[in-house]
Structure 1
Amino acid sequence: MARPRQALLTRERIVDAASALVDKEGLDALSMRRLATELGVQGPSLYNHFGTKAEIVDAVADAVIERIDLTAFGAYEWPEAVRRWAQSYRAVLVAHPNIVPALATGPGRRRPAALAMAEAVFGALVDAGWPPARATHIGALLRYLVIGSALGSFALGFDIDPGLYDQYPHLHDAPLLAARHEAVDEAAFELGLDLLINGLTAGQELGTRR
């Protein structure tokens, strides 16, 4: 009997397998050899689609960015559009925390979804009347907030041993944070987003857009 034909190796299959591996084990686990094993192919076959591991990481990162909802731009005024986008951005990154370090760099030429997102945010801010330089600053600031929030949990940074905080009376309840880390971290992000958007809106109303 003829052996069953192997499923066609495509860029999409490679990216899906690489994404699953990164989600499960982190970026350090990703290699061309390991990825070939996961796909059941010989390593050289991957090079028909990607020249380097870095290109695969870019593709995985961009596949994550594609999941961010940009539909608020054009549907809402800039403050609400930015809020909805930032909330979606963070939710996607929190769901895929292991790829966040790769997203901390700029979009580059191999990340079209990231460039499309930058275009949407920057365009919405400029169309709302912000000068291009200030729109750049706002976009960067929002990105810092989102990525910083998704990169690690503040609440999980505290030990759960109550005795550790005997000499720090104001941190008496710190051991409780770990059990509520998702709510704490999300609330901190929402507070920062509120302050940022409200401050920018107030400044725009006062005409301080430089």
Structure 2
Amino acid sequence: MARPTTAKLDQARIRAAALALVDAEGLEGLSMRRLATALDVSAASLYFHYATKDELLEAVAADILAKVDTSAFSSGWEPGVRAWARSLRAALAAHPRLVPVLSHAPGRRADALQRADDIQGGLVAAGWPPREATMIGAAAKYLVFGAALGSFAEGFAADPEVYADRYPHLGQAHRLAARAAEVDRESFDFALEQLIAGLRARYAREMS
């Protein structure tokens, strides 16, 4: 009987295994030695593809952020900001333990710089002054990454006795955790729409 063959080691397989480790155990659970064990290869073979763990994590981050949508800026600044912010939040929500890496500035990565250029270009093309376009991009990222840091709804205990008598305005807080995904999603959308509404009013004043 022929011996089973090990799947060819390539960069895509390495990144997928690294992401699986981080998703399961957090960034502290990823080391090149542990990753080599998971892939049934030697640690030295990993370094042939990625010189350092940080380089590998940047490549994993690039894979995730490649799903972020900036194409809607071609339809205007409002749909552009909305689609970009929502798709960025979805990417972060899918891999919350990787958020510290995903939050890095674009640096010199061509893919990240292209997205930043798309956002800045879309806002400026719509009439926003370059300085304000930069601040809009920053404000939206603050909102998204703030939402990604943790669940608001899951922060409340499911035991109604925690709130009884002592916190009269939190009488329904024990219900939040069971609907965490819904509450967090709708709260993010509410905040995003308030940001866009404020920008819309400012835009109307500046363009009049």
RMSD: 1.9
5 Å-filtered alignment, 1:13-162, equals 13-74=13-74, 76-109=75-108, 111-162=109-160
Q: Indicate if the aligned counterparts of 1:62 and 1:112 stay in contact, CA closer than 8 A.
A: no
Q: Confirm or deny: 8 A CA contact 1:63 1:113 kept in the other structure.
A: no
1:162-190 deviation digits (Å, cap 9, x = unpaired): 12112111111111100111111111111
Question: Offset at 1:113?
Answer: 2.8
Aligned length: 207
Task: Tell me by how many angstroms 1:100 deviates.
Answer: 1.1
Structure 1: which amino acid aligns with 2:132? R
**Structure 1 residue 5 displacement after superposition:** 5.2
Retained in 2: the 8 A contact 1:22–1:98?
yes
Q: What code does the residue aligned with 2:135 have? A: H
Q: Which ranges in structure 1 are unaligned for 5 or more consecutive residues?
A: none
Unaligned runs of 5+ in 2: none
**Residues 73 and 123 in structure 2, CA contact (< 8 A), matched pair in contact too:** no
Greater helix share, 1 or 2? 2
Q: Which residue of 1 aligns with 2:11?
A: 11
Report the Cα distance in structure 2 between the residues aligned to 1:175 and 1:11, rounded to whole angstroms: 45
Q: Please list the CA deviations of residues 95-152 of structure 1 after superposition, one character each: whole Å capped at 9, or x if unmatched.
A: 111111212221222x433222211111111111212211111101101111111221
Q: How far, CA to CA, are the matches of 2:172 and 2:6 in structure 1?
A: 57
Measure how far apart 1:6 and its partner are: 3.9
Q: Distance in 1 between matches of 2:17 and 2:73?
A: 32
Task: Give distance in 1, aligned partners of 2:61 and 2:7.
Answer: 24
Native 8 Å contact 2:154 2:176 kept in 1: yes
Letter in 2 for 1:35: L
Identity across matched positions, percent: 52
The structural deviation recorded for 1:2 is 7.5
- Deviation larger for 87-96 or 151-160: 87-96
Asked whether the equivalents of residues 160 and 174 of structure 2 are also in contact (C-alpha less than 8 Å), the reply is: yes
SS state at 2:201 partner: helix
**SS of equivalent to 1:51:** coil
In 2, distance between residues paired with 1:113 and 1:157? 35
Hey, what's the Cα distance between the residues in 2 that align with 1:3 and 1:112? 42
